[in-house]
Amino acid sequence: MATYKEIQGTAVQSLASSTGTETGQIWYDTANNLFKLGVLQTEAWATGANFPGSNMTFAGFGTQTAYVKAAGNSGSPAPNPVGNDVYEFDGTSWTTGNTVPYSSRDPDGAGSQTQGIVFGGQITGGEPTRSNTSTTYDGTNWTGAPSMNTRRRSVTGSGEQTTAITAGGAGSAGGSPEAPMANTESYNGSSWVNETALPSPKSGGGQLGPETGLLRFGGGPGTQTATLEYAVNAWTSGGSLNTARESSIGGAGTIALGLVFGGGPGAGVATESYDGTCFTSGTNMSVGGSMRGSKIGTTSDAISVGGPGPSKSTQLYTPGGFVTKTLTTS
């Protein structure tokens, strides 16, 4: 491969490669019939369109260009009402989708816009009822799925639809503070299966990755910097967050290359990347978030939706470092 200065006025090199290794490289990718350019990209958060409605504590899943925000509550007045409305984001704007079959607050979800799942939550206003309901989404319609083994709210979820996993949550019948849980279970496409319980109970927080490589971070009681990794039916300690967080934390990517952002109380705009061993502080978000993140794909798919307030913000992440761009006539 060569830089532009080296090839100016000469033929562009042809290679059966879609990725480069050096800033300034230009080549013709014969495998995909495209011109490619290697560039150095700056890490950044961009502001997207605010979502319609005012609900928070919702379930979220998908990517920057195909995201689903489902159910949740309005944030006020108390007792917070539950909801079942659905909004979809295409990378530019939000549109209304078909409603979830059950109303809830504090559920969560996993998967993609066309193969998603929502589970758990609180199904009445006030304190009483935790849910073990789950329902799948095909991009248009919702279909009832098997119930979880344990009722829970303040749920965290991640993975694809058929590798979804949830760890912890709040499962008490009422009271304040609510009792956190250690129960962990995964969905295999046909049933929910009990997994190894968390070393200690946690509610809220956030997570990313499937059951084969899960990272769980933050969570109550209280703000925490501790993280946990899950694989082969065992929990182990992960690297410590630089910023302590408790709830409403966004996540994206994988356990080997992950992103954690937002959350409360106090974490606000803080963003950190994870390399499988330690966290590195990155570029802050422009406004405090996130109520939910993307949880699947790579860090390039990271999206922060909502936040304390309740916030209607949408923020889109661009990772820093070397990337390959496709050259077009535009």
Low-confidence ranges of the chain (pLDDT < 70): 1-11, 54-55, 74-80, 125-128, 172-177, 266-267, 289-291, 308-310, 330
pLDDT tens digits along 212-268: 999 999 887 888 899 999 998 999 999 999 999 888 889 999 999 999 998 877 668
Q: Rounded to an integer, what distance in angstroms lies between the CA atom of residue 72 and that of residue 235?
A: 30
Q: Which amino acid is present at 229?
A: E
State the span(s) of the chain assigned CATH 2.120.10.80.
44-318
> Regarding beta strands 25-29 and 14-15, do their DSSP bridges make them parallel or antiparallel, or are they unpaired?
parallel
Q: What global pTM score does this model have? A: 0.87
Query: What is the edge-to-edge ordering of all strands in the sheet holding 279-281?
Result: 250-253, 258-261, 271-274, 279-281
Cα 195 to Cα 79, 191, 219, 241, 253: the distances in Å are 33, 13, 19, 25, 22
Q: Rounded to an integer, what distance in angstroms lies between the CA atom of residue 24 and that of residue 186?
A: 45
Q: Rounded to an integer, what distance in angstroms lies between the CA atom of residue 289 and that of residue 304?
A: 7
* CATH level 3 topology of 44-318: Neuraminidase (2.120.10)
Task: Kindly report the length of the chain.
Answer: 330
